[in-house]
Structure 1
Amino acid sequence: MFIDYLIESIKKKKSPVVVGLDPRLELIPDCVKKKYYDKYGKTFKAASEAILEFNKVIIDNVYDIVPAVKPQIAFYEQYGIEGLDAYIKTCKYASSKGLLIIGDVKRGDIGSTSKAYSSAYIGKSDIEGEKLEAFPADAVTVNPYLGDDCLKEFIEDVEKYSKGIFVLVKTSNPSSSQIQNLMSGDKKIYEIVALMVDGWSSNYVGEYGYSSIGAVVGATYPEEAKMLRKLMPNSYFLVPGYGAQGGTAEDVVNSFNDDGLGAVVNSSRAILYAYKREKDELVENYGAAARKEAMKMRDAINKTLEKHGKKYW
């Protein structure tokens, strides 16, 4: 079961940190991009190869200190088929290093379309009876806006293939309140979604008491996280918004249960481009800078959890 694999890796590495692999071409070091521009010109192929090399170096420097990576597919899709090839190769490379892959794809649609999305990302695609994996991932983010007939297709593949999903509940962006905080009766929309997630998750609880049906809850809303933690006691939280978006170790504490488990915290820009803040380092050392930042984040979260009596190791 996905969630058991995730928790075992968290405990082994003593880290609830997830590295978001969101490659921004303009922030990738020139020393990486130049060789591919010289070879392929300023093309999708060059962008794809530069992204893949950048990602591999990041992975090589963090695979032993974090349990998972979270590639955001939009950063790859913008470079067409070549970009998607880099996404697939990134996922496969990270998996070969023992990392779990959380595909940040935010898919969700009506039943048959949702089934196709699920087959692509956590299930298998059927070609005349031959079952093939299209985009390798251990879990994905899912948009619940279309309701049960959307999510049940993903949940079927969660069970069939021992995968996981993280349902968008309270996202980290400032304008999330425009829809997620609207009232329906005596509850806000995100509370209703949380209750739906809790209902689904109870059927897929692993040996550690947590479910492979999780929730996305932003670090930028710590008070809401405290309430959502009570509404979804068995759901693992994927917590974006740490670092560049302003979330801190104190902000994410409410996403964890008293056992110190229950959440993984994502950081993308702060880790990937840490080399830009290391003025005493050469840009060629961007991998080492990323590792240093990931360890700093891990230690800050662990120290804060311990302070609040939520030690998990």
Structure 2
Amino acid sequence: MSTVSPFGTRLRAAMDARGPLCVGIDPHAALLARWGLGDDVAGLERFSRTVVDALADQVAVFKPQAAFFERFGSRGIAVLERTVADARAAGTLVLMDAKRGDIGSTMAAYAETFLRPDAPLFSDALTVSPYLGYGSLRPAVELARESGAGLFVLALTSNPEGGEVQRAVREDGRSVGATMLAHLAEENAGAAPMGSFGAVVGATLGDLSSFDLEINGPLLAPGIGAQGATAADLPKVFGAAVGNVVPNVSRGVLGHGPDASALRAAAAAFADEIRAAVAG
């Protein structure tokens, strides 16, 4: 059993101290070019180091998108390892956005890659896909509990295609997305100040009052900024659960690079807007 505090406890403390902002680390080709960097490993490393150096003392969570590193093969993975290590050493929580999902020993291996404390890519939390059945995530749930890490389960995502699966209605009359939220509420039962098992719920989805978002866990909310949602939308979308929302902003902050002061100013502006909206 880990001696580290559970992820939910550490996340709550980081949100209270720094605000709830999560900044993506998404070095896709267009953004590298916008920064004047090559679409290569050197550009990847310069980009990632700049984001971490500029924002590690300012934001609660970094969310590296694994795919943008994996596309460069082993050298890209090496950059991802350093990025995770540097961010965690600086005191920022790292949520690995890898959206892994499989069954049995394969799911266990994915979990060990990101949630085993001595793994090179160990992260404070991991995004996972439950669409082989929520029970398929059990190896990741168990290892996260053991290591003090967390999970964010895809529940109601911001992409338009997501609804054909997530809003499909089961035989019991409950939608698939609502079922995932119910499972997470069970995982988080009794946890204080907040459970470690969160949901991904898009900030662009409008009125979600028909869903029970009070899962006693964090709600990762993509869609702020470039996708069209604003901080002011959060109370309308999340209702009474808004205090546990972790808004994710990627392009809205990263587009201000590579100047470190501009990155910091953009992140601070989003954080202030989110605090005001949540408090209001």
- Same fold, TM exceeding 0.5? yes
Deviation at 1:264, TM superposition (A): 0.7
Query: 1:166/1:31 Cα in 2 relative to 1: closer, same or farther (>3 Å)?
Result: closer
Deviation at 1:304, TM superposition (A): 1.3
**Number of corresponding residues:** 274
1:163-182 equivalences under 5 Å are: 163-182=149-168
1:102 is aligned to 2:84: no
Q: Name the structure 2 match of 1:188.
A: 175
1:8-87 equivalences under 5 Å are: 8-13=13-18, 15-28=19-32, 33=37, 47-87=40-80
Query: 1:242/1:260 Cα in 2 relative to 1: closer, same or farther (>3 Å)?
Result: closer
1:248 is aligned to 2:230: yes
Q: Name the structure 2 match of 1:127.
A: none
Looking at structure 1, the residues matched to 180 and 220 of structure 2 have their Cα atoms a distance apart, in angstroms, of 15
1:300 is aligned to 2:273: yes
The 8 Å contact of residues 115 and 153 in structure 1, kept in 2 or not, is answered as: yes
The ranges of structure 1 where at least 4 consecutive aligned residues each deviate by more than 4 angstroms after the TM superposition are: 29-32, 254-260
Looking at structure 1, the residues matched to 187 and 52 of structure 2 have their Cα atoms a distance apart, in angstroms, of 33
TM-score (norm 2): 0.91
Looking at structure 1, the residues matched to 217 and 17 of structure 2 have their Cα atoms a distance apart, in angstroms, of 20
Looking at structure 2, the residues matched to 31 and 12 of structure 1 have their Cα atoms a distance apart, in angstroms, of 30
Q: Name the structure 1 match of 2:185.
A: 198
Structure 1 gaps of 5+ residues are 35-41, 125-131, 276-283, 308-313
Looking at structure 2, the residues matched to 7 and 254 of structure 1 have their Cα atoms a distance apart, in angstroms, of 22
Looking at structure 1, the residues matched to 34 and 128 of structure 2 have their Cα atoms a distance apart, in angstroms, of 35
Instruction: Please list the CA deviations of residues 155-184 of structure 1 after superposition, one character each: whole Å capped at 9, or x if unmatched.
Output: 111111100001100001122112211122
Q: In the alignment, residue 221 of structure 1 is paired with which amino acid? A: L
Deviation at 1:251, TM superposition (A): 2.1
Q: In the alignment, residue 71 of structure 2 is paired with which amino acid? A: Q
Instruction: Please list the CA deviations of residues 173-227 of structure 1 after superposition, one character each: whole Å capped at 9, or x if unmatched.
Output: 1221122111223222211221122222226x1x31x110111101111312x44
The 8 Å contact of residues 111 and 149 in structure 1, kept in 2 or not, is answered as: no
Looking at structure 2, the residues matched to 93 and 152 of structure 1 have their Cα atoms a distance apart, in angstroms, of 29
The 8 Å contact of residues 255 and 262 in structure 1, kept in 2 or not, is answered as: no
Q: Name the structure 2 match of 1:139.
A: 125
Structure 2 gaps of 5+ residues are 1-5
Looking at structure 1, the residues matched to 37 and 165 of structure 2 have their Cα atoms a distance apart, in angstroms, of 40
1:288 is aligned to 2:267: no
Looking at structure 1, the residues matched to 112 and 42 of structure 2 have their Cα atoms a distance apart, in angstroms, of 27
Q: In the alignment, residue 193 of structure 1 is paired with which amino acid? A: M
Deviation at 1:254, TM superposition (A): 4.7
Q: Name the structure 2 match of 1:215.
A: 199
